[in-house]
Structures are given as C-alpha cells and as structure tokens.
A and B are shown apart, each in its own frame.
Chain A
Amino acid sequence: MNRRGATRGRIAWYRFSRGRFQVIGLVIVSLVSVGALAAPLIAPYPEHAGRFVDVENIYRAPDAQHLMGTDAVGRDVFSRLLFAYRSSMLLSIVVLALAVPVGVIVGLCAGYLGGWTETVAMRITDIFLAVPSLVLAMAILGLFAPSLTMTMIAVAVGWWPWYARLVYNQTRSICTEEYITAAHVTGASATRMMFTEILPVTSGTVLTKMTLDMGFVILLGSSLGFIGLGAQPPTPDLGTMVAEGTALLPDVWWQPVFASLAILVVVLGFNLLGDGLRDLFGVES
C-alpha cells in the first residue's frame, strides 16, 4: 500500500474509532473470529466437538472445569460453542462468497445495460425477494438431506437477490453522474464501465451490507439449526444447541442460555461493526 493509502487508512481509523459502539463491534467480531479460527487450539475440550460421551458428567452446572457446564451427554458446552462459531462463520463466509458475486454482477448488468437484461434480471430478483429467506431455505433443504453444505447453498440461493437489488439501485443512480458520462465519452466498453468505473463506487455500500449480513446469515443459520436443518450432530451448531437445551429449562439452563447469548453476541458484533462502516463510507441505504 503506498503512502497515500496508508494515510487514508489512518484517517479512516481515526474517524472510526470516535464511535464507541462500532469499536465494541470490531472487538466482538475479532474475538469471535479468533475463537472460531483457533477453536481446536483454545477449546479446553476439543474432542467434545465430535463423537464423545461421558455419562458421568452429564448436565453439570457451570464450574471451574466447565465454564458453561456440560450437555446431555457430558460434553463441555463452552468448547462446543467455539466449534459452533466455526460452523457459523464458515456458513456466513461461504454464503456471501457465493451470493455476493452473483448478486453484484446481476445488479451491475441490469442497471447498466438496461433493456431486456434489466427487465428479466430484475423480475427474477423480485420473485426471489418476495419469498422470505427462511421459508425459501427450508423449502430447498426439504428436497435434500440436511447438512452444513446444503444449508450454505440453500441460504445463498435466497441471499443473492438482495445484492442484485442493492447494486442495481446504486448503478442506476451512479449512471447519472458526470464522471460516468465522461468515462463513456472516452469510448470505454460496457465491461470496463461496469467493473472499473461503477463497481468501485458501490464497494462501500456492498462491504457494509456484507458485514451486516455476516450476522444475519448466522442468525438465519441458527434458525435453521433450531429446527434441525443445519450442521448435523455431532457437529456443534448454535441453533441446534439452543434447541437441545430448551426442553429442560429452567433447571438445566446453561446450554440454551449460553448458546442464545453466543448468537446474540455475534450478531450484535457484526451489526455494530456494520453500522460503523456505514458511517465511515457515508452510505445512505
């Protein structure tokens, strides 16, 4: 990064760090990411994330050895939550890696090229947007055997239209700007116009939405996991862990409570961070 880029980074950080909440969001997201990445190393009982049974230790309340207690088959809840974060983050990353490029390209083409491309693309987008993501995901997962991979695909299918719509709207308004006219006058091809001129202008908005979406995908994934459509046992899953424990509330409270808090914390973190990015990029959305 050249010197000018470094200064812009410092200015961005200066502006970002003025807001307490967005910094908190950044801290939360960092901690969760580190936790998820390093789960095999930092979890006190990494083997509990797989097939493990210890009937002597079932339903232990939180204590020094098990910070968040143990579950129905004696597995350490804290370790499993760390691994559950792993699945959730992976879900978010893969969903966005699939949905964002598709959505962005559809939006760019529809917005810039107009005509039939626009009509067809946006009608398809509208159809997808009319169906709530949860319902759509459930419908798709109903056709196949549930697994983390299928969940990723099912959620991605419902997610790309949001990016298409976002980038389409942005593209349409950007196309009225003088700098786009000037670029067009130089004789640039449509591909160049879309990808080197228009796309960079939308990047702030897209990145902000991606950050917020990291949290929302995790939320959606947890909802699916709650009804058994996420990662399958014995792989830990945030939603499943909430569901497993609810039957025994309020006596054996630790698994559902900590699992719910885990979801809350990560979604909150991404939300705060995303809001901060929105202010930083000056995005109106």
Chain B
Amino acid sequence: MLEIRDLSVSFRGFEGKARVIENVSLEVRRGEKVALVGESGCGKSLTARVVFGLLEGGEVDIDGRVMLDETSLLPADQVVWSKIRGCRAAMIFQDPLAALNPVFTIADQMRAVTKNQPVGCIRDMLERVAIEDPDRVLAAYPFQLSGGMAQRVLIAMALINEPDLIVADEPATALDTRVQRQALDLLVEAITANGSSLLLISHDLGLVRQYTDRMYVMYAGNIVESGSTDQVLGGARHPYTQAMLAAVPQLDGALPKGIEGHLPDYHQPPPGCRFQPRCPHAAQECHVPVPLRLVDSGHEARCVFVGSSDVRSQRFHE
C-alpha cells in the first residue's frame, strides 16, 4: 500500500553535501503493522517526513519513488500532499504537547482536521481513545492536559478521518512506560478495527516486539535488515542489529555492551557498508556497496557474510 523505492535524501550545507539517506526501500501492505527501527541520526524520522512532503527547501535533494496505492507521493507537489495528509495518511508526532497548537482549544484543532466527517464524530473519537470526559477535553487548551491525555488526543486526531495509513514517529516517548503502552494499545486496537496500516518509527525494541508484524532496521541512512519481527528479533543477522539487541539491558543484571565508534560523517560516508568502521567482523569485501541478501524467506540483511558459504561467515553466525 505504501511503497518507498530507492529513496535518497541529501542536504547541501556549509560543509558540502550530506547524503543522509541512501537507497532506502520499504513497503507497508494493507492492514500490516510495520516498524522502522534505528537509533538517533539514522534517518528514520526523515524518511517519514518525505512521505508526507514535509521536507522541502532549496537545500534538500530528494530522489526515488514513493507510492501510496496508486498515488505518487514522490515526485509530487504540495497539492497532492495536502490532499492525503490527515485523510488517507496521518502522522502522529513524538511530543504530544509540542505537536498541538497552544493557542487553540482541542475542539478547534480537531475540527480543523476533520475533512469529510460530521462534527459529532469528534466526541465519539475522544471516547474511543478512552478519554472519560470528552467535553472537558474539547473545551481545554493543550497546556491544561497531561502528557498522556494529549497523546490520546493526537491519536484521535490521526484516526478521525479513518486514514489508510498511520505513521507514528516515536509515539509517546515523552511519557511513562505504562501510559505509553496504554496509548499504543488504543492506537493499535483502532487501527486493527479499521483495517488500516501502521508504520511505527521507534528506537524502542520492546514496543516493536509487542505491536508490529514486520520490521526494518535502519543504520546511517541505509536499511540494513528486514523481515518479520520474530525473524529479526529472534535471529538477527546483521552485526548492527545484533549489537543493538546486545545493548538492551536485561533483568539479569549483566552490564549490556555498547557499540564502539560513532555514526559516520554523512559528508564522507564509507564507500561500502556504512557500519563497517564499527563492525567487529569488517573485512575487505565490506568496502564496496553491499546489496540486501536473503537470509531466509522474507528475511534479508545487508551484510557480505549473509547467504554465503564462506567458512568465516559460518563461524560468525554461531
């Protein structure tokens, strides 16, 4: 339903051209819940913004194709984007209080979002997101709401036009774990009920495990691994995914391991695999561009040691 093919984004700035996203391809089929996972600076939020046409300006170069069913979202113009925003596709931003306009009441803001729905829908929507006193919330200004409440309002605003696709960018990270879980439960329930699709952008593997069916792992502007959530989390093959999983603290009390090094300079990224400078298994073959290789049905990883019968790679995957 959503198809992103060979997306590349670069910024021109003081130090030259920064190639922050390179040849990213992903898709979200109808009714699917897909995660785009990665750490800060990997480009995942940027990818979402491209879908909605939020990345513009003289200093950005965008290449590639983005299709929402039959509609082309890239290349496209503001007219196309404004038609789909809120309607066929909606975005939920990270910080609920920052995403709401402080000078308008919730009622005003929700009314501004509804395009085809009757106004009575708004109250119902708030009830669907477990807001017990919708009238009070409707009359309130954003600063009068708690974080959890504001997040639920955002979810209601996203769902109100029953869009086909919802993109949630680090939803509710600003909130407590329990409140976050509640908000996401509501969101996923509503999405499943409508038959919509979800693209969940997050660095939180716990959320991904719980709410999504398929996932993409992004590092330094590349997709490095993809597959079903079970496949990737249960049997990660890309060294970055493995390192990220090893870094999650567990209740056994062992100190988790970090990853040496840091993100590459996007002005001068490594020629081949972008993770190679930090990879404990780096080899000569890693210096040229590496394609996604098949691990298993539906499971791919961008690593030279995947899918080959090289003895080194066998040892590596033990």
Contact = CB atoms under 8 A, between A and B. Distances in A.
A and B touch in the complex (CB under 8 A): yes
Interface of A: 10-11, 14-15
A38 B52 CA distance: 56
In the complex, the 4 A-B pairs of residues with the closest C-beta atoms, listed nearest first: A14-B14, A11-B14, A15-B14, A10-B14
Contacts of B14: 10-11, 14-15
Nearest to A15: B14
Contacts of A11: 14
Nearest to B59: A18
Nearest to A11: B14
B98 to A, nearest CB: 15
A206 B162 CA distance: 49
Contacts of A14: 14
Interface of B: 14
Nearest to B58: A18
4 contacts: A10-B14, A11-B14, A14-B14, A15-B14
Contacts of A15: 14
A10 B14 CA distance: 9
A15 B13 CA distance: 9
Nearest to A7: B14
A121 to B, nearest CB: 29
A14 B14 CA distance: 7
B75 to A, nearest CB: 26
B158 to A, nearest CB: 29
B108 to A, nearest CB: 24
A14 B59 CA distance: 14
A205 B278 CA distance: 42
A129 B14 CA distance: 42
A140 to B, nearest CB: 41
A11 B13 CA distance: 10
Nearest to A14: B14
A7 B71 CA distance: 45
A9 to B, nearest CB: 12
B268 to A, nearest CB: 17
A37 to B, nearest CB: 33
A10 B15 CA distance: 11
Nearest to A13: B14
A15 B14 CA distance: 8
Nearest to B15: A11
A11 B16 CA distance: 12
B13 to A, nearest CB: 8
A256 to B, nearest CB: 43
A155 B67 CA distance: 63
